[in-house]
Amino acid sequence: MEQPIKILIVEDNVIIADDMQSMLEEIGYEIVDNVIVYEQAVEVLKTQQVDLVLIDIILASDKTGIDLGKHIRENYDIPFIFVTSNSDRATVENAKTVKPNGYLVKPFEQQDLYTSIEIALSNFIYGKQAAASNGAAPTASTEDVAMSNSILKDSIFVKKQHLYYRIQFGDIQFIKADNVYLEVNTVDKKFLVRSPLKDYLEKLPQNKFYRAHKSYIVNVDHIDAINSKDIMINNTLIPISKDFKEFIISAMNS
């Protein structure tokens, strides 16, 4: 089933941090932890699943939020946003050196926080998809991160209303093309995604997901029944091509 985005807050002002947590939880995000210093943040990143980090630049420790941003860039493949009272040229230029996915100046409203997070997530996901479609080869360090990052390894982001949800690959039953949209079906949910079917198939595990028909991708683990023209998944009949029928029958007999 889909899971809300998991956010780590790194903010040394406890009142501001608590306000941020309340705002985020009200919107529907999940707060992994709320910490005040660099060392605590590093430990959380090491032990918890984190999808995005909100970082105050000035922290209650010798190391700053910019140091934390550098640590994230070197060790993790996740977006982060600087949340700070400092908007002077020197601070901004220093922050730019670690390439944050956003920069939010205090004080801010809930809508500002929400907008910054959504844009950061959207740009982050789009950037990875664009790199993949252009055939960009990942560096060795990026490959190591990807192998340990469950966002990339066993799930995919799908947007529903105003949030991006993470769906485990195993929970996707089938995907149906509908004009310019795809209908991603899980056991009890449907999500609309704007993407060509062929491009979406390339993002899914090749040993589980197959093009069963010109308009369908199916997860073979969820096939309940098959006949000469269709397969059944969760009481839904899905047409299949001749090639896919032969593939399934061959797999069943092997």
203-221 pLDDT tens trace = 888 889 999 999 999 999 9
Rounded Cα distance, 218 and 207, in Å: 11
State whether CATH 3.40.1390.30 applies to domain 6-129.
no
Tell me what pLDDT residue 147 has.
29
Mean of pLDDT values over 54-66? 93
Q: Residues 29, 5: contact at Cβ < 8 Å?
A: yes
Report residue 140's pLDDT band, with 50, 70 and 90 as the boundaries. very low
pLDDT digits (tens, 9 = 90+) for 149-196: 333 457 777 766 666 677 888 999 999 998 878 999 998 888 888 888
Rounded Cα distance, 27 and 114, in Å: 8
Rounded Cα distance, 239 and 157, in Å: 27
CB atoms within 10 A of CB 222: 20
Mean of pLDDT values over 17-23? 94
Tell me what pLDDT residue 123 has.
79
User: Rounded to two decimals, what is the model's pTM?
Assistant: 0.56
Q: For residue 16, is pLDDT > 60?
A: yes
Say which CATH topology domain 172-253 has: OB fold (Dihydrolipoamide Acetyltransferase, E2P) (2.40.50)
Tell me what pLDDT residue 145 has.
33
Mean of pLDDT values over 106-115? 88
Mean of pLDDT values over 2-14? 89
Q: What is the CA radius of gyration of the chain?
A: 21
Mean of pLDDT values over 8-22? 94
Helices (H), the chain: 14-27, 38-47, 65-75, 89-96, 110-133, 140-148, 150-153, 197-201, 242-253
Taking the CA atoms of 239, 244, 246 and 247 in sequence, report the sign of the dihedral they define: negative
Q: For residue 44, is pLDDT > 90?
A: yes
Among 172, 149, 160, smallest CA distance to 72 is for: 149
Taking the CA atoms of 165, 168, 171 and 174 in sequence, report the sign of the dihedral they define: positive
CATH code 2.40.50.1020 region(s) in the chain: 172-253
Q: Which amino acid is at 24?
A: L
Q: For residue 13, is pLDDT > 70?
A: yes
Mean of pLDDT values over 126-144? 49
Q: Which amino acid is at 35?
A: V
Tell me what pLDDT residue 138 has.
45
Q: Which amino acid is at 216?
A: Y
CATH code 3.40.50.2300 region(s) in the chain: 6-129
